[in-house]
Structure 1
């Protein structure tokens, strides 16, 4: 087997996220995703069909941002993690979200790690 880490780092999205009245409109959120991807063997070709195409993660996050409202960053992180784990090659995913504009001196974030259930 061959294990790689695939990263989508600091994707800026406008999303409806929060529980307060001032968060009713979309706000800027930075999303980072780290996926541990397992391939059956080391890569033999320099071809996209040999690896996980991270476009599906970026497109999925942008679709969520455009179509859904989240009350909690925790729920947003869980939803993104589930999106990543939909690809059977993803064994582990770390998702971090950061609201950047709530406080003038700090970001507010959430980070989770999820692993594919191991079957005996």
Structure 2
């Protein structure tokens, strides 16, 4: 069974993320997702029905960003990982979030890796 890595890189969203009063309004957050996806066989017909359509991940992230927000980046990346693992073909997911505007000289972030048992 072939494995592929499906990547969504540098998806910028505005969302409420943080514990401080100044973070009560949406701020820029960059998310990157790498999913190791296993298929029964290699795609042969060159059709989207044969593979994971990453629109569901992008749409799901936008849905999370439009919601009430998160206090912690750790909670955000867990939610994105759970979204990805909802597709049984996803064997492993790596999610990175980065706050872009907290410091003038650095970004701050969190990254996790989750695997299917």
Give the TM bin, normalised by the shorter chain: over 0.9
State the match for 2:97 in structure 1.
97
Distance 1:82 1:37 in 2: 14
Distance 1:68 1:87 in 2: 24
Count of aligned residue pairs for this structure pair = 117
* Larger strand share, 1 or 2: 1
Alpha-carbon displacement from aligned partner over 1:3-30 (angstroms, at most 9, x marks no partner): 1000000000001000000100000000
Displacement of 1:69 in angstroms is 1.1
* Stretches of structure 2 lacking an aligned partner (at least 5 in a row): none
State the match for 1:106 in structure 2.
106
State the match for 2:27 in structure 1.
27
Alpha-carbon displacement from aligned partner over 1:55-89 (angstroms, at most 9, x marks no partner): 00000000000013100000000000000000000
Distance 2:10 2:85 in 1: 20
State the match for 2:55 in structure 1.
55
After TM superposition, which residue ranges in structure 1, 4 or more long, deviate above 4 angstroms?
A: none
SS of the residue aligned with 1:18?
coil
Displacement of 1:99 in angstroms is 0.1
TM-score (norm: length of structure 1): 0.96
State the match for 1:116 in structure 2.
116
Distance 1:68 1:55 in 2: 22
* Stretches of structure 1 lacking an aligned partner (at least 5 in a row): none
State the match for 2:44 in structure 1.
44
